[in-house]
Amino acid sequence: MSFTALLTLIGSPLLWATLVALAYISMTRIKRERGMFRSRRRSPKSDWRHFLWPSLLLAVIGSTALILLETTVNWEWVVTFSVLYALIVLTMHPRFGSPAFPFLIMLTALTLRDVVEYGVFSGWMDRLAEVGWPVYALVFGVVTLAEAILLRWNGPIETSPTLILSKRGQFIGGHVVKRLWFFPLVVFLPPSFGLDVSVPVILPIPIGVSLLSTGALPGTLLGRLSVYRGLLALIALGLFGASYVIDVAYAAYGLLGLFVLYELALQLIKRENRGTTPVFINGNRGAVIIDTLPGSPGEAMQLIPGESIYKVNGSVITGGSSFYEALQLHKPYIKLEVLNLNGDIRFVQRAMYETDPHELGILFVAEPASPRLRLRKL
């Protein structure tokens, strides 16, 4: 039976659509970072590493719960879910990486059965209707709870720095969180394929997030989104648990509402972010740091995104260009006055070595390296 489950995984269009989307997301990230900063922030391997870990650990826990609950669907349900989800994933927008969207389509189609004539698909819809709403609630609840954990646990790690334009044409820095996690879940088909027992099927579910952080550090926004996702997950799991005790009236409509709230929560976070004064914006704070490259002197000096370098060896800095001009004057030793987000000053001292790169691996808010690059507007 485990071999059959593996075949359903490999043969799923959802798996291959997810791999294509992940490769595309990684490629576009690297192209954008090089166009803005002349260097990528991290290698493509990191995207694949985040894709598999720690989501696989959570998937094992989630699959164990579904196995113990003997979660059973039918073949028509698996095919419909996989094809719809694959088409959604191929839009290349990671924020649609959630069962909420294929479930919204499936449940809406089922609730309209008395209104819409499906013709040749009527038999297929009848088979879909055999899978009750508690399955939707359970799968959505388990996946969304895992997403809430991943947003807080893994989301803020290795985000991607970016540059955007304000409405006034001013350069603003930010961080892009664009990630896919792999969360395969095990469900069962009724006895089939000539077997007298239930057949396990692996659903290769991708979980995605796409968020531009300008008004706060990425971890802050992802923390808020994690809370919203966690609440929706608990409500869905609560509905599933209640189905064992009582007949929950209009539960399918309640689930449709949860799926809509899933998207509205993200839009609320984005609106709050746009309405907040940008963190990464040049002003009277000196040279604002968007990020540092891994293994660089900037990282070794523990310079943090959102901080700004105000002085170099006593000389006031107004931006990235003046920072490098002062750096050349004061070699081979530098003393930096750094302002954090609260306006507190700390001092960073370091000897300059011949092996150090010219830019020290510090990414500042400045004009992008490629003049042909079209920046997103806030």
Contact criterion met (CB below 8 Å) for 53 and 146: no
Distance CA 124, CA 252 (A): 19
Beta bridge partners of 162: 174
Task: State residue 283's pLDDT score.
Answer: 75
Contact criterion met (CB below 8 Å) for 304 and 339: no
Task: State residue 263's pLDDT score.
Answer: 97
Low-confidence ranges of the chain (pLDDT < 50): 1
Cis before residue 332, ω within 30 degrees of 0? yes
Cis before residue 218, ω within 30 degrees of 0? no
pLDDT in tens, 244-254: 999 888 899 99
CA distances from 294 to 29, 225, 301 (A): 16, 27, 12
Task: State residue 195's pLDDT score.
Answer: 63
SS3 label, residue 218? helix
Contact criterion met (CB below 8 Å) for 95 and 21: no
The two structure tokens encoding residue 123: 């038999």
Contact criterion met (CB below 8 Å) for 374 and 35: no
Query: Which DSSP letter does residue 22 get?
Result: H
Query: Could you give the residue ranges of the DSSP H alpha helices within the chain?
Result: 2-10, 13-37, 44-52, 55-68, 75-89, 100-111, 122-129, 133-153, 218-242, 251-274, 297-300, 320-329
Helix (DSSP H) and strand (DSSP E) numbers for the chain: 12, 10
Contact criterion met (CB below 8 Å) for 66 and 45: no
Nearest to 279 by CA among 167, 174, 139: 174
pTM over 0.75: yes
Identify the helix (H) or strand (E) that includes residue 298: helix 297-300
pLDDT in tens, 63-84: 999 999 999 999 999 999 999 9
The two structure tokens encoding residue 357: 């790169």
Task: State residue 330's pLDDT score.
Answer: 66
First to last CA, the chain: 52
Contact criterion met (CB below 8 Å) for 265 and 228: yes
Give the distance from CA 151 to its chain's centroid. Answer: 7
CA distances from 16 to 21, 63, 147 (A): 9, 21, 21
Beta bridge partners of 364: 289
Distance CA 206, CA 29 (A): 19
Beta bridge partners of 376: 164
